Amino acid sequence: MRRAERLEKLPPYLFDELDKAKRKASERGARVIDLAVGDPDLPTPSAVVERMREAVTNPSHHRYPGYLGSLELREALAAWFGRRFGVRLDVDSEVLVLIGSKEGLGHLPMALVNPGERVLVPDPGYPVYANTSILAGAEVGRFELKESNGFLPDVEELASLGEARLIFLNYPNNPTGAVAGQEFYMKILDFAAARGLLICNDAAYSEITFDGFRSPSILASPGAKECAIEIHSFSKTFNMTGWRIGFAAGNPDMLRALAQVKVNLDSSVFGAIQEAAVTAVSLDYDENVRVYEGRRRLALEWLSRLGCRYFEAKGTFYLWVRVPEGFSSVDFAVLLLEKAAVCVAPGSGFGTYGEGWFRIALTRPEAEIAEGFRRVASLNLWTS
């Protein structure tokens, strides 16, 4: 496929219309409450910032870092993985530092999939899986995440999509907030092993879960390292979206292929950021989740009061909510912006099966979330 054809195959940027409406609302002087973007408002822990401040003056960091990530960070990540998930990782072959998880996810199809081979991606889902598969010349097979199945893929239905090389999973899930347990991972691993399918589980939200649920790693299941990797991020766990650091763990062959792409495209993460990341993984990060817990409780109370139907999610800082009868996702999101200066993400931005839903990100303080709901409530959209 020619380059231009690949670019033409990328879907239109569905948040465009929303951006325009957001700009218009700001221009007419409205104070927009932005509950659309998954970018934490909470600060990066001060210990991380302090470590960075010191590390930045270290001349050894002013030269190229090693391609896989520093040994100190890979050791810290392996230790964290052991403590948190009970999984042993070999620091030389089973851990790879990334420039944010998006970078690793985006380069993976190029590393693992031949042009024309199929990549299975969730719908609704984080658009990067499908779009970078298209850029790699792969065929995309979308599988529906259904509310009736807790937004987990139906393994039998996956079989009907035919042969595929790679499947992207994402639990805890953006945009639905759904979580997956070990039982599901074992089932999908059996399915993959029988078909020579490779698995990438995007675990960017692994540390943001509620109601006593702790997200397991797919790598804790027997045989997982034969065909699976898991991608982790510092962005949401430690409020470090701007720092651009994450890592991949698991199957050595998959990681070697990804590293081979990366050595030709980038030269890893600034050493000072890697040092700061070593401090981050040593921290207790429960405080973050407690803040989201409060916001989530508040938002769920409002949703119930308004009579909205929503998915009772156990993970991520997102809420996945049905739009009222008679609206498309985009029409509804634009209406909220125009009439209430409240910005939410239309579900259709995450795929065809996201139509009829919208996503709220709990990345603003409680007072702002409450103000947003007060404004939306005054529109009486659910009572007619």
Ligand X SMILES: Cc1ncc(COP(=O)(O)O)c(C=O)c1O
Closest distance of CB 122 from ligand X, Å: 10
Secondary structure of residue 99 in the 3-state scheme: coil
Query: How far apart are CB 314 and ligand X at their closest, in Å?
Result: 16
Nearest-angstrom CA–CA distance, 306 and 322? 12
345 touches ligand X (CB under 6 A): no
Distance CA 353, CA 359 (A): 13
CB of 24 to ligand X, least distance (A): 25
Asked if 170 interacts with ligand X (CB under 6 A), we say yes
- Kindly tell me which residue out of 81, 85, 126, 317 binds ligand X, with binding defined by CB under 6 A: 126
Partners of 360 in the beta sheet?
A: 319
204 counts as binding ligand X under rule CB under 6 A: yes
Distance (Å, rounded) from C-alpha 81 to C-alpha 222? 16
- Among residues 174, 237, 251, 288, the one that binds ligand X under rule CB under 6 A: 174
329 within 8 A of 354, measured Cβ to Cβ = yes
Query: Which residues from 272-331 bind ligand X, rule CB under 6 A?
Result: none
Q: How many residues form the binding site for ligand X (CB under 6 A)?
A: 13
Please give the residues from 81 up to 110 whose contact with ligand X meets the rule CB under 6 A.
100-102
Across the chain, the runs of DSSP E, i.e. the strands, are 33-34, 95-98, 118-123, 139-144, 166-169, 198-202, 228-233, 246-250, 318-322, 342-343, 345-346, 357-361
**3-class DSSP string for 151-162:** CCCCHHHHHCCC
Nearer Cβ to ligand X (100/271): 100
Q: Is residue 38 near ligand X by the rule CB under 6 A?
A: yes
- We find the least distance from the C-beta atom of residue 112 to ligand X, in angstroms, to be 17
Q: How far is the CB of 128 from ligand X (least distance, A)?
A: 7
Length of the chain equals 384
Binding site for ligand X (CB under 6 A): 38, 100-102, 126, 170, 174, 202, 204, 233, 235, 241, 246
